[in-house]
Amino acid sequence: MRKSYPLHVEQIAPDIPGASEEYLLYDLRKDRSSNRARDIPPDDMDRAGRVIYPLVRNAEPFPNTLLPANRTHEFRSESFYWKEDSAAVLFADSVAETVEERLSLVLVYTKEAGQRAWTYSVTPDDVCTELDVPAQELTLSDAKILTTPGGLLIRASFSSSNLHCGPRALEISASQFAPAELEVTGPSQHVVPRR
């Protein structure tokens, strides 16, 4: 699920991009306490679920408003795309990087311990026949996570608001994804790579 945030954030602080997406997993087969990070009371509805992306310590929901641009994630998919056995989910996310946005496919393993979130940077060259298409004009419109003898295979299709894109399907192996970087939460902190 995606954590909601107030629509008026941009009115409070127009110079700060505002609210970041926060992607959480809430397992309906488990009880409330099993769907919380440590020390989160079961009646705290604002912090339900475990954060799966961006990658944060203890998978604990974080304040996701009034953040700087380099920590403001945006959902760039028409949906979440699940592996048939629910062991993995795929979606697209973007974050501002200087002038351009960085568009990533995010692959999350839901049933594994250890590194669960992996990313693959998508460039317009990957999915468009024309090269002058900004990444912010692309949206993940369909995806399949397939099991093959060589491991997981991802087939992703993008749509574009740019008529010159000429979208084409992207087919990549899960082994081409890199571990997601750990992000530090809190309004005065910056994104830091995991060491």
Q: Where are the domains of the chain?
A: 1-68, 76-181
CA 126 to chain centre: 19
Compute the distance between CA of residue 99 and CA of residue 140 in angstroms, rounded to an integer: 21
Tell me the three state secondary structure of residue 85.
Answer: coil
CA distances from 119 to 7, 53, 55, 177 (A): 28, 10, 11, 5
Sort 132 into a burial class: Cβ within 10 Å, 0-12 / 13-18 / 19+: exposed
Reduced to 3 states (helix: H, G, I; strand: E, B; else coil), residue 3 is coil
Indicate the SS3 state at residue 152.
Answer: strand
The pLDDT tens digits along the chain (195 residues) read 666 555 544 444 445 456 788 888 888 888 877 777 777 776 776 677 788 898 887 777 777 777 777 778 889 999 999 999 999 999 999 987 655 678 999 999 988 766 689 999 998 888 888 767 777 888 999 999 999 999 999 999 998 887 777 788 999 999 999 999 888 665 444 344 433
* This prediction's pTM: 0.82
Burial class of residue 66 in the structure, from the number of CB atoms within 10 Å of its CB (0-12 exposed, 13-18 middle, 19+ buried): middle
